[in-house]
Structure 1
Amino acid sequence: MEILLIRHGQSEADILNVHEGRADFSLTELGIKQVQKMSKRVHNDFAPELIWSSTLKRAKETAIILAEEIGSELHFEDDLMEHNNGVLAGLSFEEAKKIPIPKYPHESVENGESHIEFRMRMEIIFSRIIVQSSSYKRIAIVAHGGVINNLLHSFLKMPIETEFGFYTGDSGIHLIEINEKGRYIRFLNDTNHIKKS
């Protein structure tokens, strides 16, 4: 099975300079254009048969545009939402400096989830999606930067605490594969669709 991991386009939080996480912002006009270009590229080059998506607006809007372009089945999943950053959600970066940052992976900000809880949530939903999608040759997961980072860590069976991370740009695409021989990375963070005029 091939799995596309796709990040949403630019959101309103990106131009407001606030912490996003669980804050539920929509795509900007630029974000919509990024997603439209990404959707055409995915349709032409590696269209999925099934799309799974986070239920937060920026990802949901991205997934709807992609599904309409391709004409594929679409499932929404709450467990694909971004890291629960508690009281930081929606706060400006300046205001957020007053909030104590957790020092250890088992700690969280007020009303949030720890890094361990986030990673375990991703392990569970990734496993569930793989099992429930086993009859498909290619699927897509539309989500968020933190979610995709953790899904890639899960895919590579990396530890919770690591120096390595995976960046995803606006509407960035990763392609990974699981088959009888093992797990393969086809490419990471492809944003060529938004570089073209």
Structure 2
Amino acid sequence: MELLIIRHGESEADLLEVHEGRADFPLTKLGEQQASLMATYIEQHYRPNIILTSPLKRARRTATILQESIGCGLIVENDLMEFNNGILAGLLRNEAAIKYPLPQGGRPIHIPIQDGESELEFRFRADSVFHKILFEYQHYDRVAIVSHGGMISNILKAFLKQPMNQEFAFPTGDTGIHLLEIKANTRIIRFLNKQEHLQLIEDEN
């Protein structure tokens, strides 16, 4: 079984300097272009049998563009949503730093942000949806997962069976692609954060 994990394209929040998380911003024009290039690349090289996506607009639209290119099924999985950042969602970063400053030394991993979730709860949700996917979609050769940077980082930690800590992170660029494989009792990383499909945009600039 292979897991093709994809981050959404650029969203409007990226241009507004706000905390995104559960704030539901759509893709920008560039984000749409990135998603189209990603879909073409995946169609040519790594066609999935099914696509699972977060319901948030930026991820769902990215997944829909991929589905239109591939022609396979698309399933919305709520647990693939980004970190529930509660009161910070959609708030300007400089405003948030004044209104809701981090506690000295940072927020402990077991304490949730107001109206949101804790880092511990976020990691548990990632582990839960990861194992759900392995169990419910094990009969597929390749499953595409379209999600968000924080969730993807935690899914990678779950795949690697890392303990709960904040020492390691796995960043993913716009429409970055990770390919993981589970073969018998072996977990294989084929590649991480592949973005060569965006070369056309870079060449134009």
Q: Same fold (TM over 0.5)?
A: yes
Q: Classify the secondary structure of the residue corresponding to 2:30.
A: helix
Structure 1 residue ranges, 4+ long, deviating more than 6 angstroms after superposition? none
Answer yes or no: is 1:169 the counterpart of 2:170. Answer: no
Rounded to whole Å, the distance in 1 between the matches of 2:138 and 2:107 is 39
The one-letter amino acid of 1:60's match is R
The corresponding residue for 1:66 is 66
Please give the alpha-carbon distance, in whole angstroms, between the structure 1 residues aligned to 2:166 and 2:54.
25
Distance 1:22 1:76 in 2: 16
TM-score normalised to the size of structure 1? 0.98
- Structure 1 residue 52: Cα displacement: 0.4
The one-letter amino acid paired with 1:2 is E
Alignment partner, residue 30 of structure 2: 30
Q: How many angstroms apart in 2 are the aligned matches of 1:10 and 1:64?
A: 15
Q: 2:148 aligns with which of 144, 153, 173?
A: 144
**Structure-to-structure mapping, 1:31-50, within 5 angstroms:** 31-50=31-50
Amino acid at match of 1:61: R
Segments of structure 2 that go 5 or more residues without pairing to the other structure are none
Other-structure match for 1:100: 101
* Counterpart in the other structure of 2:163: 159
Post-superposition Cα deviations, 1:30-64, rounded to whole Å, max 9, x if no partner, equal 00000000000000001000100000000000000
**Does residue 1:116 correspond to 2:116, yes or no?**
no
Quick one: distance in 2 between partners of 1:52 and 1:119? 19
User: 1:15-26 alignment to 2 at 5 Å?
Assistant: 15-26=15-26
Distance 1:162 1:57 in 2: 28
Once the two structures are TM-superposed, the CA of residue 167 in structure 1 deviates from its matched residue by: 0.5
Q: Which residue in 2 is equivalent to 1:192? A: 196
Contact 1:100–1:109 under 8 Å retained in 2: no
Which runs of 5 or more residues in structure 1 are unaligned? none
| In structure 1, C-alpha distance between the alignment counterparts of 2:59 and 2:137, rounded to whole Å | 20
